[in-house]
Structure 1
Amino acid sequence: MAEERRGAWFGFGFCGFGQALGSGRGRQVHSPEPLRAPGAGLDVCRVSASWSYTAFVTRGGGRVELSGFAVGAAGGCRDAWASEELLVVLRAGPGPGAGTELQAWAPGSALRGEPLWAQTVPEAEREDGPVGDETQAGPLPLLPCARAYVSPRPPFYRPLAPTLRARRLELGAEHALLLDAAGQVFSWGGGRHGQLGHGTLEAEPEPRLLQALQGLTMTEVAAGGWHSLCVSEAGDIYIWGWNESGQLALPTKSLAEDGKTTAEASGLNEDGSEVKTVAGGEDGAPAPFIAVQPFPALLDLPLGSDAVKASCGSRHTAVVTRTGELYTWGWGGSGDWL
């Protein structure tokens, strides 16, 4: 598993439970604040944030620290993945030569007692490339063998088809995105908000290639509550799914209406996007907005900036550019975006 580059970690948004390490409880962090680790020399290398708590993994001894509604700590951890239903950790197995063990815990367990479920997982397979090759498995919920992934609901361990050489996997509220070694994107799960990107609102039981992105090499994928995003090797952003709070950075109802709305109509554009019109604009003309975007849409950042990293929350989106700029948009009622 590739080591994350060293650097300072910052947190912002709703912090009512103390989700940002060392920031305190019961407040909203409206601008990025550095994480203040309680232990001397605590060097955070990986962060996994859920709504009510956050899991921090440190270098060296591989310690996981929980902050927020769920608290606790444990050693010998290689990775952690936090969700409201489940906390998953990869730990050294019990005893010498025991390999790596995948453990699923209830978030409120404080990592004490016995896990809900545990399974030994194989080490990453290296026949397709040298150790450290970035085409190997990424962080959880993708497992080190790159042939399975973690689900927050039983069965916790879910295999992938042998033909899928997974590089990264992201889980939304009802759907999953997979980036393969060739830079192609697959999606499956619930699709009622267009989050799968196949042009329909239908569910897909198995991973399906996004035909609209074929021929483009992607380097990053991100899944939100009901929207999705990917970044190409050229730094272009493609985004699709639900736009209820402007999380797609496309025209949305909350911006189109002026409080005098009396009627609305809906339809589909030629590209498959759902468009609604709201009556009651200042000039009497309908104001269009996009509620659902079922196909990937190209999104331009200001000043023609190139994206390199992306993350999606439930109803907001964040992107980091090659020059280190951070752009955020979508729902910001809890200070989730700047």
Structure 2
Amino acid sequence: MNWFGFGFNAFGQILDREQKVSPGGDKDDADDDVKSYTCLTPIKLERVDSSQQSRLSASWSRTAQLRLHDEDGRVYLSGCGVDVADGGCMTESLGCKDALLGERYLTLGFQNKAECWDLQRHGPAPAWSMETSVPGGYIATKPPFYRPLAPQLKAVSLALGAEHAVLLSGSGIVYTWGIGSHGQLGHSGLTPEKEPRPVEALCGLCMSSVATGGWHSACISAGGDLYVWGWNESGQLGLPSQAMRTSQGHESIKETSSCQEASTAARGEEQKAGESEEVFISIQAFPALLDLTESCDVSKVSCGSRHTAAVTSDYGQLGDGTSRSSDEPRCVAFFRQRGLTVVDVVCGPWNTFAMAAAKEEAAQS
């Protein structure tokens, strides 16, 4: 299996800056897109070893690949300030089981401990470390700073946005807390939450995974349905966006927010009255079921700063080989045209990475 990346590449986090590629994904000295440090179509990550199991984590200027081979886990970095002479290997990561990359810090998870390394300081020791035998919990803004999670949560997944957190419990319930100014908490309002609070709109539905962007959130139900909420300024929720339609020359725009008093009944009356105005969503303050137009289930979802990518049972992903923004889900034709099946997707703030393999190889994995 191979990892492919597309989007923001100013620091070489997808492709070495001295290399050039054509719009079709092949190397070409005449490509103007790389000169502007943008990869419009998926590019195979050259320094990724496809023979090993791997995971990917991305920040704004760097990419971290965790290669797992038996007990010999190692992290390989690419992008800003990375010495590629040794392939970007971080020697201190030997034996790690998981890795989470931020813009400044890289957190490594080992069998019995966790370490946080400052990528700007390049010191000989981690900036922070702790034994992982401590019961699970979360950090609060006021004493006591460390607070254990309630036993009934039994957290299985945690996703962090710019100012909020989304937690998936073992029973499939979604909890959110943090800043809610863009509706990213999904509680039908814009107020903050200091403690984990279940998303009531999803109660009764069992969720299988969660994801967060800068100021939006997403989750997948056990049945393969995709729910989204939060900020939609750039169409990242796949819902009608004023900014997107305005840039495309649409007229007769009417912007609204789902947390405001704009009821469905009122919109229905306007339509009956022959109103030509469209309704746009700037903030979706509670989970909305996203219609992908294709009758297929969603298996993976990941969120960037202002975009979302999903893998479906029928090759569905965000991105169509252009730099044009979209508030409608679009399929990446690149993989289908090459007979590749996408099995995983990871979003950086301004770029997207997809793991893909030939159909036969994907079926065996």
TM-score under structure 2 normalisation? 0.70
After superposition, residues 18-37 of structure 1 pair within 5 angstroms as 18-20=12-14, 27-37=37-47
Please report how far the alpha carbon of residue 336 of structure 1 lies from its aligned counterpart in structure 2 after TM superposition: 3.9
The 1:253/1:107 distance shift into structure 2, 3 A limit, reads same
Per-residue CA distance 1:62-119 (angstroms, 9 max, x = gap): 111111114251222211101114211123xxxxxxx522111112245x41111111
Whichever residue aligns with residue 67 of structure 2, its letter is T
1:12–1:30 CA contact under 8 A, matched in 2: yes
Equivalent residue of 1:269, what SS?
Answer: coil
Q: Residue 197 of structure 2 is aligned with which of 208, 214, 217?
A: 208
Q: Residue 80 of structure 1 is aligned with which of 78, 88, 99?
A: 99
Please report how far the alpha carbon of residue 24 of structure 1 lies from its aligned counterpart in structure 2 after TM superposition: 5.5
1:81–1:89 CA contact under 8 A, matched in 2: yes
Per-residue CA distance 1:167-197 (angstroms, 9 max, x = gap): 1110000000001111110000000000000
Please report how far the alpha carbon of residue 161 of structure 1 lies from its aligned counterpart in structure 2 after TM superposition: 2.9
Give the distance between the partners of 1:107 and 1:159, measured in 2 at CA.
Answer: 29
Please report how far the alpha carbon of residue 235 of structure 1 lies from its aligned counterpart in structure 2 after TM superposition: 0.9
After superposition, residues 233-244 of structure 1 pair within 5 angstroms as 233-244=222-233
Equivalent residue of 1:192, what SS?
Answer: coil
Whichever residue aligns with residue 106 of structure 2, its letter is L
1:100–1:121 CA contact under 8 A, matched in 2: yes
1:46 has 2:55 as partner = yes
2:2–2:44 CA contact under 8 A, matched in 1: yes
Please report how far the alpha carbon of residue 23 of structure 1 lies from its aligned counterpart in structure 2 after TM superposition: 7.2
2:255–2:280 CA contact under 8 A, matched in 1: no
Identity %: 43
After superposition, residues 152-231 of structure 1 pair within 5 angstroms as 159-231=148-220
Equivalent residue of 1:327, what SS?
Answer: coil
Give the distance between the partners of 2:11 and 2:67, measured in 1 at CA.
Answer: 21
Q: Residue 118 of structure 1 is aligned with which of 119, 129, 142?
A: 129
Please report how far the alpha carbon of residue 261 of structure 1 lies from its aligned counterpart in structure 2 after TM superposition: 7.7
1:247 has 2:236 as partner = yes
Whichever residue aligns with residue 45 of structure 2, its letter is L
Please report how far the alpha carbon of residue 288 of structure 1 lies from its aligned counterpart in structure 2 after TM superposition: 2.3
- The structure whose RCO (Cα within 8 Å, separation 6+) is larger is 2
The 1:44/1:158 distance shift into structure 2, 3 A limit, reads farther
Whichever residue aligns with residue 32 of structure 1, its letter is P
- Which sections of structure 1, spanning at least 5 residues, go unmatched? 1-6, 92-98, 123-144, 272-282
1:42–1:58 CA contact under 8 A, matched in 2: no
Give the distance between the partners of 2:255 and 2:55, measured in 1 at CA.
Answer: 45
1:108 has 2:114 as partner = no
The 1:332/1:197 distance shift into structure 2, 3 A limit, reads farther
1:29–1:335 CA contact under 8 A, matched in 2: no
Whichever residue aligns with residue 29 of structure 1, its letter is C
1:326 has 2:317 as partner = yes
Give the distance between the partners of 1:49 and 1:291, measured in 2 at CA.
Answer: 26
Equivalent residue of 2:294, what SS?
Answer: helix
Please report how far the alpha carbon of residue 22 of structure 1 lies from its aligned counterpart in structure 2 after TM superposition: 5.5
Per-residue CA distance 1:231-275 (angstroms, 9 max, x = gap): 11111111111000000111111233366989977553337xxxx
Give the distance between the partners of 1:318 and 1:41, measured in 2 at CA.
Answer: 22
Once structures 1 and 2 are overlaid, which stretch shifts more, 285-294 or 261-270? 261-270
1:16 has 2:16 as partner = no
Q: Residue 291 of structure 1 is aligned with which of 273, 278, 282?
A: 282
Give the distance between the partners of 1:103 and 1:178, measured in 2 at CA.
Answer: 22
- Which sections of structure 2, spanning at least 5 residues, go unmatched? 20-33, 83-87, 265-273, 326-348, 354-365
Give the distance between the partners of 1:182 and 1:263, measured in 2 at CA.
Answer: 42
Please report how far the alpha carbon of residue 293 of structure 1 lies from its aligned counterpart in structure 2 after TM superposition: 0.6
Give the distance between the partners of 2:226 and 2:135, measured in 1 at CA.
Answer: 25
Partner residue, 1:268? 261
Which one has a larger percent helix, Structure 1 or Structure 2? Answer: 2
Whichever residue aligns with residue 75 of structure 2, its letter is V
1:256–1:287 CA contact under 8 A, matched in 2: no
Size of the aligned set, in residue pairs, is 290
Give the distance between the partners of 2:238 and 2:172, measured in 1 at CA.
Answer: 24
Give the distance between the partners of 2:145 and 2:81, measured in 1 at CA.
Answer: 20
Give the distance between the partners of 2:302 and 2:172, measured in 1 at CA.
Answer: 18
Give the distance between the partners of 1:52 and 1:158, measured in 2 at CA.
Answer: 32
Equivalent residue of 2:66, what SS?
Answer: strand
Whichever residue aligns with residue 11 of structure 1, its letter is G
2:253–2:278 CA contact under 8 A, matched in 1: no
